[in-house]
Structure 1
Amino acid sequence: MKKHLTMLAAASSLLAAVSAQAQTKTLTVGGYGGSFETLMKDLIIPEFEKTHDVTIQFVAGNSTENLARLQAQKGNQELDVVILDDGPMYQADALEFCAPLDEATRTDADVYDLAQIGPNSIGIGFVATGFTYNAEWFEEKGWEPPKSWKDLTDPKFEQILSIPPISNTYGLHTLVMMARLNGGGESDIDPGFTAMADDVAPNVLVFEPSSGKMSELFQSKEIALSIWGSGRTKSLADTGFPAKFAYPEEGAVALMLAACPVVDSDAPQAAQDFIKYLLDPEIQVKLGDAMGSGPVNKKTELPKELAETLPYGPEKIAQLVTVDWDTINPNRQEWTQRWAREVER
Structure 2
Amino acid sequence: MKRLGMISVTTLALSASGVLADELSVVCSAEQDWCDLMVSAFEAEHPDTDVLMVRKSTGETLAQVRAEAGNPKIDVWWGGTGDPHLIAAEEGLTQASGVDTSELLGWAQNMADISNGKAIGIYAGALGIAYNADILSEKSIEPPQCWADLEDPRFEGEIQVANPNSSGTAYTELATFVQLFGEDEAMVKLAAVGKNVNSYTKSGSAPSKAAARGETGVSIGFMHDMVKLAAQGFPLKIVAPCEGTGYEVGAVSVIEGARNPEAAKAWVAFALRADVQSRAPEVGSFQVPSNSNAKVAPESPDLASIKLIDYDFATYGSSDTRGRLLARWDAEVGDPNPQK
Q: TM-score band, normalised by the shorter chain? A: 0.7 to 0.9
Query: Is contact 1:261-1:268 (8 Å) kept?
Result: yes
* Corresponding residue pairs, total: 311
Answer yes or no: is the 8 Å Cα contact 2:162–2:207 preserved in 1: no
Deviation at 1:86, TM superposition (A): 1.2
Which residue of structure 1 lines up, in the alignment, with residue 46 of structure 2?
49
Aligned 8 A contact 1:129 1:229 in 2: yes
User: Equivalents in 2 of 1:221, 1:61: separation in Å?
Assistant: 23
SS in 2 for 1:29: strand
2:266 alignment partner in structure 1:
273
- 1:280 to partner: Cα distance: 1.6
Q: Is the 8 A contact 2:240 2:306 kept in 1?
A: no
SS at match of 1:307: coil
| Cα offsets for 1:129-168 (capped at 9, x unmatched) | 1111224556778988644322323454343233333323
* Deviation sequence 1:92-148 (CA, Å, 0-9, x none): 11122222232x5211x3333255312221111223211112245567789886443
Matched, 1:85 2:75: no
CA contact (8 A) 2:270 2:276 kept: yes
Tell me if 1:230 matches 2:223: yes
Which 10-residue stretch deviates more, 127-136 or 61-70?
61-70
Partner residue in 1 for 2:196: 203
CA-CA distance at 1:284 after TM superposition: 1.1
Pick aligned residue for 1:26 from 10, 23, 28: 23
Q: Distance in 2 between matches of 1:236 and 1:192?
A: 29
**Counterpart for residue 172 of structure 1:** 171
* SS in structure 2 at match of 1:163: strand
The answer to whether the 8 A contact 2:161-2:221 is kept is: yes
> Which residue among 322, 326, 329 is the counterpart of 2:311?
322
> 5+ unaligned residues in a row in structure 2: which ranges?
1-14
Q: Which runs of 5+ in 1 are unaligned?
A: 1-16
Corresponding position: 1:307 with 2:298: yes
- Partner Cα distance (1:69, 1:179) in 2: 27
* Bigger proportion of residues as helix: 1
Retained in 2: the 8 A contact 1:133–1:243? yes
Aligned-partner Cα distance in 2 for 1:329–1:146? 33
Rate the CA distance shift 1:97–1:171 in 2: closer, same or farther, 3 A: closer
| Contact 1:159–1:205 under 8 Å retained in 2 | yes
Q: Given residue 307 of structure 1, which amino acid in structure 2 is its aligned partner?
A: P
TM-score (norm 1): 0.74
Distance 1:115 1:126, change over 3 A: farther
Q: In 1, are the aligned partners of 2:77 and 2:253 still within 8 Å (CA)? A: yes
Alpha-carbon distance in structure 1 between the residues aligned to 2:195 and 2:71? 48
Q: Which residue matches 2:149?
A: 151
Structure 1 residues 205 and 68 mapped into 2: Cα distance closer, same or farther (>3 Å)? closer
Kindly provide the CA deviation profile for residues 173-215 of structure 1, in whole angstroms up to 9, marking residues without a partner as x: 3333333443x1xxxx212112222x43343344344544653
| SS of equivalent residue, structure 1 residue 87 | helix
